[in-house]
Structure formats: structure tokens, C-alpha cells
């Protein structure tokens, strides 16, 4: 009878630990997705001044040749 009690205790403890591990894993997964979403939400617009300046420099270089 004591062996059955020990086995039942082991099963219940294992089920509790499994549920806690799944809940913690789900929490970490949600936190990871939350951090990834905030990293992609703030897009920095590309500055076009460099492209315009490069085009002007290319025109100036071609006209001097």
C-alpha cells in the first residue's frame, strides 16, 4: 500500500512539474515574441540625402571629364 502511495505521489509531482515547465516555456515564448515585435515595429526611414548626394557627385564627376 505504501508503494502505491509513493507511486501516486511521484505521478502527481511529475504532472505538476510538467505543467509548471509548460507554463514557464509559454511565458518565455510570449516574452521572446514580444521583444521581437518591438524590435521590428520601429523602422528607421532610410535617408535619401546620401542617394541624392551620390547622384550629384556622379554628375559633377562626369562633367569634369
- pLDDT tens-digit profile of 5-63? 999 999 999 999 999 999 999 999 999 998 888 666 666 666 656 666 777 777 777 77
Grid cell of 11 as nine digits: 505521478
25, three cell numbers = 516555456
Residue in the block written with cell 509531482: 13
Note whether residue 40 is domain-resident: yes
**Overall domain count for the chain:** 1
For residue 19, being part of any structural domain is answered with: no
Collapsing DSSP states into helix, strand and coil, what is residue 47?
coil
Give the number of residues written for the chain: 65
Establish if 1 belongs to a structural domain. Answer: no
Hunting for cell 507511486 — which residue is that? 7
Residue 11 lies in a domain: no
Radius of gyration for the alpha carbons in the chain, expressed in angstroms and rounded:
31
47-61 pLDDT, tens digit per residue, is 656 666 777 777 777
Domain that holds residue 52: 26-64
Amino acid at each position: 500500500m505504501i508503494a502505491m502511495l509513493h507511486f501516486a505521489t511521484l505521478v502527481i509531482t511529475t504532472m505538476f512539474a510538467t505543467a509548471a515547465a509548460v507554463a514557464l516555456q509559454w511565458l518565455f515564448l510570449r516574452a521572446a515574441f514580444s521583444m521581437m515585435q518591438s524590435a521590428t515595429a520601429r523602422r528607421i526611414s532610410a535617408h535619401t540625402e546620401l542617394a541624392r548626394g551620390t547622384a550629384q557627385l556622379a554628375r559633377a564627376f562626369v562633367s569634369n571629364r
